[in-house]
Amino acid sequence: MRRIPVTLSFTKHTLANGLDVLLHEDHTCPIVAVNLWYHVGSKNERPGHTGFAHLFEHLMFEGSQHHDRGYFQPLQGAGATLNGSTNADRTNYWEVVPSNALELALWMESDRMGYLLPALTEAKFSNQRDVVLNERRQNYENRPYGLAPMALLSALFPPDHPYHWTTIGEVADLHAVRLDEVQAFFRRYYHPANASLALAGDIDSDEALAMARAYFDELEPGDRVDPVDASASLSSDTRIFFEDRVELPRLYLAWLTPAMFAEGDADLDLGTDLLANGKTSRLYRRLVFDERIATDVSAAQNSREIAGYTQITATAAPGHTLDELEHAILEEMARLVAESPTDDEMERGRVQAESQFVFRLQTVGGFGGKSDQLNAYNMFLGDPAYFDRDLARYQDVTHVSLQQAIARYLAPSRRVTLSIVPHGRVSLAAADSERAVVS
């Protein structure tokens, strides 16, 4: 397959306070993406004090010292779209604004970076904590199979590992947290020396840099944040289950895998795609189409900064068991290790990876746009120009390296097997499973 070179012109500047500023000119449309990443996520929390990073995702929209009102109205009034998100490794905020509203966006971003705490009252804190608790109920507790991520992460990673908990945080921790604790968390992580700002779109690079300096140069840098270091391992098949308000039992298989961009990460990405993504994948054809023992099946290599995990999920069709699904999945995985994937399978995986990659770069802003990707490479690799090398990782995967990665990292003897079954039907759990406590 002939690979399409992927490059993106940009310049990188680091202000005196440590803020990285990435500039990409694209005059196709009179809009500018303002994308700000903080190198903080739920992995920067600690047991008993979880959910802080996600809570700040909400608090950062509640006003700052020089704009002590809702964050959305002025920008939307100027024609902008905006949002933010938090995961285990980073927090990001973005606006896509008409070119003439760039200064407004930079002023508001700089004000909440440098002057959020004077406007953070007990009332705002309490209100947004309740919003987060309600979000947790909606997205996890009251959603069918919604507690699965909590059960899987707590089984994959030990209690003191920063990936042991989900980004939303634990209920008890959110109830117990005090205003002074979250203020200290903000001072530690939300400052220029722990952030990366990307501006992409209809800009003049010199003018945009001058504007960024005007609004961010005066902010205090904050203390250097050391990288988080942690390890985890599995030595057996951990088999757990819990009951939920669901109609059909569902099986989850999960393994510890390499970190984002590490050796084996791309192999497992293509391997999971080959196994269970799309109607031509091996597990879909066997479980859903041929044998009809499952209603759905999916797989993913979940790449994170200090460790990854691969997950395969399948829901049993009426009249069939999770033991049947488990047997078929492990059999197909063993067959993949023993018999080389076909050239067509490898080609399909590479084409899929490249198309997804190029699709993300069709926009300058938002989640996954050019500005977002520049920040991702800058923050996790220190190299915003990693585009072509990132895509090359998938082209470098061979039949043999894919088989070796599956054999090495997805061993049946070192995994977590989770069953979620309807209330009162414990017998539907995979054999030898023990009850898990999730909340």
Q: What is the CATH number of the domain that holds 348?
A: 3.30.830.10
| 164 and 85 assigned to the same domain | yes
**Would 5 be classed as within a structural domain?**
no
Residue 2 lies in a domain: no
Residue 416 lies in a domain: yes
Same domain? 64 vs 192: yes
Domain span at residue 358? 237-435
Q: Answer yes or no: is 112 within a domain.
A: yes
Do 169 and 270 lie in a common domain? no
Residue 9: burial class (beta carbons within 10 Å; 0-12, 13-18, 19+)? exposed
| Helix pair angle (122-136, 179-189), 10° resolution | 90
Q: Are 366 and 412 contained in the same domain?
A: yes
Distance CA 144, CA 142 (A): 7
Read off the pLDDT of residues 304-343 as tens digits, 9 standing for 90 and up.
Answer: 999 999 999 999 999 999 999 999 999 999 999 999 999 9
Residues 332, 287 contacting (CB under 8 angstroms): no
Domain identity same for 316 and 430? yes
Q: In this structure, are 172 and 288 located in the same domain?
A: no
Contacts for 47 with CB less than 8 Å, ≥ 6 apart: 159, 160, 164, 165
153 plus 184 within the same structural domain: yes
Domain assignment of residue 6, yes or no: no
279 & 419 share domain: yes
Long-range contact set of residues 117-125: C-beta below 8 Å, sequence gap at least 24: 117/183, 117/186, 117/187, 118/64, 118/65, 119/62, 119/63, 119/64, 119/65, 119/68, 120/59, 120/62, 120/179, 120/182, 120/183, 120/186, 122/179, 124/59, 124/62, 124/63, 125/59, 125/179, 125/182
Q: Are residues 147 and 282 in the same domain?
A: no
What's the pTM? Answer: 0.95
Residues 136 and 277 in one domain: no
Query: b/e string for 77-108 if b means 16 or more Cβ within 10 A?
Result: eeebebebebbbbbbbbbbbbbeebbebbbeb
User: By the 8 A CB rule, do 432 and 388 touch?
Assistant: no
In a domain, 221, yes or no: no
The answer to whether residue 421 sits within a structural domain is yes
Structural domain count of the chain: 2
59 and 188 housed in the same domain: yes
**Separation between Cα atoms, residue 408 and residue 336, nearest integer Å:** 13
The whole-angstrom distance between residue 13's C-alpha and the CA centroid of its chain comes to 26
CB atoms within 10 A of CB 309: 25
pLDDT tens across the length of the chain (439 residues): 455 567 789 999 999 999 999 999 999 999 999 999 999 999 999 999 999 999 999 999 999 999 999 899 999 999 999 999 999 999 999 999 999 999 999 999 999 999 999 999 999 999 999 999 999 999 999 999 999 999 999 999 999 999 999 999 999 999 999 999 999 999 999 999 999 999 999 999 999 999 999 999 999 999 999 999 999 999 999 999 999 999 999 999 999 999 999 999 999 999 999 999 889 999 999 999 999 999 999 999 999 999 999 999 999 999 999 999 999 999 999 999 999 999 999 999 999 989 888 888 899 999 999 999 999 999 999 999 999 999 999 999 999 999 999 999 999 999 999 999 999 999 999 999 999 988 7
243 lies in the same domain as 316: yes
224 in a structural domain = no
d(CA 100, CA 202): 10
- Among 216, 249, 284, residue at a domain's last position: 216
pLDDT at 4 (0 to 100): 59
C-alpha to C-alpha distance for 43 and 240, rounded to whole angstroms: 24
